[in-house]
Homo-oligomer: A and B are copies of this chain.
Amino acid sequence: MLDQIGTQLKKYQHEAFLFAGHYGIEKEGQRVNTQGDLSQTPLPFTQPHPYVKNDFAQAQAEVATDYFDTCQQTFQQLQGLDAVLLRALPENEILWPLSMPPALPSAAEIKIAAPTAAGLHYRQKIARKYGYQMQMMSAVHVNFSLSERLMRFLFEVHYHAQFNDDYIAFHNAAYLKLTQNYLRYRYVLTYLFGASPLAAANFSTAVPDHLVRSLHASRRFGYVNRASQEVSFQSITAYVADLQQLIDNGELQGPREFYSPVRLHGNSLAELESAGIHYLELRNLDIDPYAADGLSATTLNFFRLFLAYLLVTPSVPVEQAPTVLVQAAAQNETVALGSPLGVSRLQPQLQEFMQSLGKFAQDFQAPIELQQALQTMQARVVDYRLTPSYRLSEEINGGSLQQFALRQAQTFKQQAIAQPYQLPGYTQLAADSQLLLANAYQRGLAVRLLDEQAGVLQLAEHEVIGPGASTRLNSQTAVMASQNKLVTKKLLGQAGLIVPAGAEYTQVATAMADFADLAKQGLVVKPKRGTKGQGITVFQTAPTAELFKVALERALTTGTSALVENYVPGTVYRFLVIAGRVCAVAECMPANVVGDGRQALTALVVRKNKQANRGLNRPLRPLPLDGQTDFDLQQQGLQRSIIPARGNQVNLRLAATFATGADAVDVTADMDASYKEVAVAAAQALQLQVAGVDIVIDNLYQPVDAAHPELATVLSVTARPELAVHEAPYFGTAQPVTAALLDQLLTK
Residues of A within 8 A of B (CB): 13-14, 448, 450-451, 453-454, 456, 458, 462-466, 470-481, 484, 486-487, 490-491, 506, 516-517, 529, 560-561, 687, 719-720
Contacts and interface: CB of A to CB of B under 8 A. Distances in A.
Nearest to A14: B517
Contacts of A517: 14
A720 B476 CA distance: 9
Nearest to A475: B472
10 contacts: A451-B484, A454-B486, A456-B487, A458-B491, A463-B477, A464-B491, A464-B687, A465-B477, A466-B480, A466-B481
A506 B451 CA distance: 13
Given A474-B475, A475-B474, A451 B486 contact: yes
A464 B478 contact: yes
A473 B687 CA distance: 12
Given A491-B450, A561-B453, A476 B472 contact: yes
B484 A454 contact: yes
A578 B456 CA distance: 25
A451 B487 contact: yes
Contacts of A490: 448, 450-451
A456 B481 contact: yes
Contacts of A13: 516
B476 A719 contact: yes
Contact of A472 (B456, B458, B462, B477): B477
Instruction: Report which residue of A476, A477, A516 has the largest number of chain B beta carbons within 10 angstroms of its beta carbon.
Output: A476
Given A450-B491, A491-B450, A484 B472 contact: no
A495 to B, nearest CB: 11
Nearest to A469: B476
A742 to B, nearest CB: 13
A543 B314 CA distance: 39
A460 to B, nearest CB: 13
A720 B560 CA distance: 21
A470 B480 CA distance: 8
Nearest to A561: B453
Contact of A466 (B463, B476, B561): B476
Given A456-B481, A458-B491, 5 more contacts: A454-B484, A456-B484, A464-B480, A464-B481, A474-B475
Contact of A471 (B473, B476, B720): B476
A745 to B, nearest CB: 10
Contacts of A453: 506, 560-561
A347 B486 CA distance: 49
Contacts of A463: 477
A430 B370 CA distance: 55
Nearest to A463: B477
A592 to B, nearest CB: 31
B466 A470 contact: no
Contacts of A470: 476-477, 480
Contacts of A484: 450-451, 454, 456
Nearest to A516: B13
A318 to B, nearest CB: 34
A450 B478 CA distance: 13
A466 B13 CA distance: 51
A129 to B, nearest CB: 42
A15 B457 CA distance: 57
Contact of A479 (B476, B481, B487): B476
A462 B561 CA distance: 25
A479 B479 contact: yes
A258 to B, nearest CB: 33
A489 to B, nearest CB: 10
Contacts of A475: 471-476
Contacts of A477: 463-466, 470-472, 474
A490 B448 CA distance: 10
Contacts of A476: 466, 470-476, 478-479, 719-720
A601 B617 CA distance: 52
A487 B450 contact: yes
A392 B358 CA distance: 101
A458 B490 CA distance: 11
Nearest to A686: B464
Nearest to A720: B476
Contacts of A450: 481, 484, 486-487, 490-491
Nearest to A17: B517
Contacts of A466: 476-477, 480-481
A332 to B, nearest CB: 39
Given A14-B517, A465-B477, A479-B476, A487 B719 contact: no
A476 B686 CA distance: 13
A517 to B, nearest CB: 7
A519 to B, nearest CB: 13
Contacts of A687: 462, 464, 472
A16 to B, nearest CB: 9
A17 to B, nearest CB: 9
Contacts of A720: 476
